[in-house]
Structure 1
Amino acid sequence: MSFVSHFQAYVNAISSDYARILQSLFIAALSVSLWSIIFRRRKVQGVSTIGELPGPPSPSWWKGNLKQLTDLKNGWDFHRALAEYGPAVKLNGFFRNKLFYTFDPQAMHHILVKDAASFYRLRLRSSTLLFGKGLLSTGGEHHRKQRKMLNPVFSIAHMRSMMPTFYDVVDQLETALSNRVQNGPTEIDLLGWMARTALELIGQSGFGYSFDNMVEDAPKHKYSIVVKDLVPALSRLRVERDFILPFALKFIPTRVFNLSYEHVPMESSSRSPRYGHLHAPTFRDEAVARQIGRGKDILSVLMKENLQADNEDKLDEDEIIGQMTTFIFAAMDTTSNGMSRILHLLSSHQDVQDKMRQEIIEVRKNRPGERLSYDELVALPYLDAVCRETLRLYPPVSSIDRRSSEDRVVPLSRPVRGKDGISEVTEVFIPKSTTVVISILNANRSTDLWGPDALEWKPERWLTPLPESIMESKVPGVYAHLMTFSGGGRSCIGFKFSQLEMKVVISMLVENFKFSLPPKKDIFWQMSGISSPVVVGGDGHARLPLMVELAK
């Protein structure tokens, strides 16, 4: 018998063995699957499944609706179309796995508050690669311990103490813009300046550290550059970040990824560095040594609270560093984009801009040459209305994800018509390991809650009593009946800081400058992880060019 014949016989034998093994495994898997199906049918008898919910068709057998859900250009239209199905929708994920998409108040309360322990945040371990052991990277009791330690940092009393630092930074911004518009209206990228201002605010009020002197046309500190590049870099790596990386982290230690992040020459990964490595020497050695014991910045307060805490509540050094990294990202990108959105809207609505300016001028008449106090600033009704309405209609983050750690049943506030067009769904069975998408966008825009004009930008709606429907809805958000800052134990701990920052910056800008749209340039906001503006027909880089001139 020839070598080829021997080899063929060997292959046939091996193939036969494999066939028997695979057949046995298939039968075993089928048995387990059938048992699981029977068990679940018995367990959820009388309760609707995700498959019984209405939902759009799936354009791809392996990507499902995921591309539509996160499409930079057409994502807004897709989310608006999903709202037509009602507040509980079935979507398809990879390989037609069913996703539960909701903006129902009771469902959100159940997932984020009442039964939050059964719905964990996705990408906790992969977040550790970027932010260290901060709030974005921890869960369960560990997360609660960190929030307990951080709560005093974001108290109203501490916000009041930050006002002088906020005004110092805003003065730098006013000087920088004034120098650039002395000769008349000038086109300026306000997104860039809002990002620089937000980073400087968290730098000085957070760590007693200055990133930017706000003098040059472009920032020179490396942190200013890499932090702003983070979200675009993660958007380019969406599949790797959301699916490949979490799977790989189950088998490969985090320290291996840290080494590869710094030494493997990959173009995309080089644009999204691990920020903890960038900031640790500066903040630990300089700012802490200078501020601890007498400073009012976030880091000083956190360090003092940590020293006084019981041993079981103390945060270790890596956790404190992780909080700093988390604060920089959260305070810079979302807030700067939120302020940019306000300026874009004011440029399109000159009447609103004029009314806000007049409100600020009237208050300042009684306090010539003096700063507005914290209480005076937050009490300005029209400024507050513009901020609230912008964050309602245009939340920087459109949705958040959770995954069920066990089989659960989620109730709905009102029945949803099933996909058969006849049955009514009042509660939904969510199997273990199901991805849940909570739509912040549609929760904030629900016509059932906010009325028929919910899709209109109308700051005046906040100057009169809100509809009873929204007041009685029990939306679990921590801010103004909105989901913009999420809700429950993982809500944005710094939302008061963000609100104060917006009001301090926007009030100064509107009082001193007039903003208008640039000629022959259309601006479109992309549905990226944090929505960002681009010039239509431009190079695709995030920017917000507006015409700026002195208001006086």
Structure 2
Amino acid sequence: MHPILRITLSIFGTLGSYGLFLLARYLYRETTSPLNKLPGPPNPSWIHGNSKELQDDELDVTQTKWVEEYGPTLVFRWFLRKRLYTQDTKALNHILMSSYNYQKPEALRKWHLRNVVGSGLLVQEEDEHRLQRKVMNPAFGIAQIREMTDIFVDESIHLRDIWASQVGPANSPVRVEIRSWLSRMTLDVIGRAGFNYRCNALDSTEPDELTKAFSIICEMSNRLTFWDILQAVVPVLRLFPSTSNSAKKEAQAAMKRIGRDLLWQTKEYLSATGEKADGRRAKDLLSLLVRSNMSKDIPEQQRMTDEDVIAQVSTFLVAGHETTSTTLTWALFAMTQKKEIQIKLRKELLQGDIACTPFAGIPRVAMKDDFIPLSTAYTDRNGKVHNGIQVRKGDTISVPVLAVNRSKELWGEDARDFKPERWLIPGGIPTAVSTIPGVWGNVLSFLGGAHACIGYRFSLVEMKALLFVLIRTFEFDLAVPAEEVVSKSSILHRPQLKSEPEKGSQLPLWMKLYVPL
């Protein structure tokens, strides 16, 4: 036999044996999984599982139907794997507070998120996450966020003035696609407040280099193909590059280069001014982070490397940009559906919360065999009652953020109503929601535990500043029938129009200046 043919057969034989080993391991794990006991929806596809139902879902309609039929704790299939789903707050507390035992899936961290934010805080787990968060925490304190309020207000006024200039003669309503404008506004905010960088997104028709690179990475990351998922699950397939990966790498290189320049400028400024550093230049998140990283309170071996600090530039952009603009978009949509609330809010603002979330849910993976306690027992497929769930190392759990925020079992029959006064009146918040492990407002929007959103105060103050300025100035009405607006999920739940899916995410509103009677 020819040597080349012998080598080729040997390679294919080895790959075939390895493939059979993986298949046998997969089948053994599937047939012996303790999750098989849980109730759940039927599996419509051996390959896709229930993933298409969820990807085509509007908000959490599919998950709500599952909960109504199978109870708050169930199992469904996400492609080739089972995934535990639970709205049980005792179980969610156990999962979110045990950050070392329940982590982001490795494929999500090391393949998907790292392509977007490098080695930033969103990617890290265990001790590295704890150390990075310890260094970053001082930048997100109450006093530090208060110092940034002027930026939030300035950019809100900037957007207000642009919109006001578009209002027609005699204050005739103008149609505005608000989602893209809000995205540009929050990009300008995070540029200035994050690292003293002017994106000028509100004024420019062409994005600057950083914005363009960031947009390329996010757009490609939001368009997950079956090949992308296979590459994430099967590492060996990452040896075969795709066009999108090449474009991502070019954009990442540009972001790293700009991040390096920003870090160098920040270090130079702080080095020149020392303890006297003051003013806006010394109070952006990057400057505060660098100063904290240089603090004598941080041992040398626990300080972040320059590469780690640079990675936070991408992290700030991801965490402080689209999430906030998407939430603001849904907030304004809600106020067009209940005009009396818009009017009441305007009246209060002129005289002197809403449980939105851009995320439908987040996955976690068990890092060891564990028992998850439940506050509500479930009955398995054999009719046996259980007060907890046995999970094995490697099992995936879905933390249903949106579903918990809208759960009738927790919030009552009006859970899906836009009712901000529930946070204002005594007894407006049901006792049951006190068990939700969120860091703010008895909702799960900012998560809880060690991985709770470090910038939740930043986001809240920014949203309040924008709503304060816009609601005082404009009256908003939906420019299309309400049934036209649907929510489509990639990483975030963004609004789309049923009749114009090719245009992607958008929300057109009629807008006119508010004129007091």
Q: TM-score, normalised by structure 2?
A: 0.85
Identity, % of aligned positions: 27
Which of 489, 498, 512 is residue 549 of structure 1 equivalent to? Answer: 512
Structure 1 residues 412-444: Cα deviation after superposition (integer angstroms, max 9, x where no partner): 111123234x32221111111111111112211
Matched, 1:297 2:284: yes
Which of 327, 351, 363 is residue 401 of structure 1 equivalent to? Answer: 363
Matched, 1:357 2:346: yes
How far 1:277 sits from its partner (Å)?
Answer: 3.2
Contact 2:120 2:308 in 1 (8 A): yes
Please name the residue that 1:453 is paired with.
Answer: 414
Which of 401, 408, 429 is residue 390 of structure 2 equivalent to? Answer: 429
How far 1:233 sits from its partner (Å)?
Answer: 2.6
Please name the residue that 2:99 is paired with.
Answer: 116
Structure 1 residues 294-331: Cα deviation after superposition (integer angstroms, max 9, x where no partner): 31111111111111132022111111111111011111
Please name the residue that 1:345 is paired with.
Answer: 334
How far 1:339 sits from its partner (Å)?
Answer: 0.5
Structure 1 residues 124-168: Cα deviation after superposition (integer angstroms, max 9, x where no partner): 212222211101111110000011111111111111111222222
Please name the residue that 2:442 is paired with.
Answer: 481
Contact 2:364 2:397 in 1 (8 A): yes
Structure 1 residues 53-109: Cα deviation after superposition (integer angstroms, max 9, x where no partner): 1100000012211222232x45632122122122211112334x3221112111111
Please name the residue that 2:485 is paired with.
Answer: 523
Please name the residue that 1:369 is paired with.
Answer: none
C-alpha distance in 2, partners of 1:37/1:279?
Answer: 46
C-alpha distance in 1, partners of 2:343/2:223?
Answer: 40
Label 1:527 to 1:251 Cα distance change in 2 as closer, same or farther (>3 A): closer
Q: TM-score, normalised by structure 1?
A: 0.80
Contact 1:203 1:210 in 2 (8 A): yes
How far 1:178 sits from its partner (Å)?
Answer: 1.5
Matches within 5 A, 1:260-299: 266=243, 270=247, 273-274=251-252, 276-277=255-256, 279-286=258-265, 289=268, 293-294=277-278, 295-299=282-286
Contact 2:99 2:126 in 1 (8 A): no
Label 1:468 to 1:454 Cα distance change in 2 as closer, same or farther (>3 A): closer
How far 1:334 sits from its partner (Å)?
Answer: 0.6
Which of 156, 161, 164 is residue 175 of structure 1 equivalent to? Answer: 161
C-alpha distance in 2, partners of 1:75/1:59?
Answer: 20
Aligned residue pair count: 483
Which of 306, 323, 331 is residue 334 of structure 1 equivalent to? Answer: 323
Q: Which has the larger radius of gyration?
A: 1
Contact 1:223 1:278 in 2 (8 A): no
Contact 1:199 1:332 in 2 (8 A): yes
SS at match of 2:48: coil
Please name the residue that 1:319 is paired with.
Answer: 308
Matched, 1:129 2:112: no
SS at match of 1:137: coil
Matched, 1:88 2:73: yes
Label 1:330 to 1:238 Cα distance change in 2 as closer, same or farther (>3 A): farther
C-alpha distance in 2, partners of 1:488/1:160?
Answer: 24
SS at match of 1:180: coil
AA in 2 matched with 1:446: S
Contact 1:533 1:544 in 2 (8 A): yes
Which of 48, 51, 57 is residue 66 of structure 1 equivalent to? Answer: 51
Matched, 1:244 2:205: no
Matched, 1:56 2:17: no
Please name the residue that 1:197 is paired with.
Answer: 185
AA in 2 matched with 1:167: V
- Unpaired segments ≥5 residues, structure 1: 1-5, 42-48, 364-386
Matched, 1:418 2:397: no
- Unpaired segments ≥5 residues, structure 2: 272-276
Label 1:320 to 1:442 Cα distance change in 2 as closer, same or farther (>3 A): same
C-alpha distance in 2, partners of 1:186/1:523?
Answer: 19
AA in 2 matched with 1:545: P
How far 1:181 sits from its partner (Å)?
Answer: 1.4
Matched, 1:208 2:196: yes
C-alpha distance in 1, partners of 2:481/2:418?
Answer: 24
